[in-house]
Amino acid sequence: MANHLYQRDLPDGLDLGPVVAIDCESMGLNPNRDRLCVVQLSSGDGDAHLVQIARGQTDAPNIVRLLTDPAVLKLFHFGRFDIAILLRTFGALTAPVYCTKIASRLVRTYTDRHGLKVLLQEQVGVDISKQQQSSDWGAAQLTDAQIGYAASDVLHLHKLRDRLTAMLDREGRTEMAQACFDFLPMRARLDLAGWPETDIFAHS
> Domains plus CATH for the chain?
3-193 (3.30.420.10)
CA 73 – CA 204 distance, rounded (Å): 35
Residue pLDDT, tens place only, 43-73:
999 999 999 999 999 999 999 999 999 999 9
pLDDT band at 128 (very low <50, low <70, confident <90, very high): confident
Residue pLDDT, tens place only, 69-87:
999 999 999 999 999 999 9
| Phi, then psi, of 191 in degrees rounded to 5 | -55, -50
pLDDT band at 132 (very low <50, low <70, confident <90, very high): low
pLDDT beyond 80 at 186: yes
pLDDT beyond 90 at 152: yes
Of 111, 102, 119, 72, residue with least CA distance to 173: 102
In this prediction the pTM is 0.95
| Phi, then psi, of 52 in degrees rounded to 5 | -80, 130
pLDDT beyond 80 at 129: no
Contact 48, 41 (CB under 8 A): yes
Contact 120, 77 (CB under 8 A): no
CA 37 – CA 42 distance, rounded (Å): 17
Q: How far is CA 131 from the centre of its chain?
A: 18
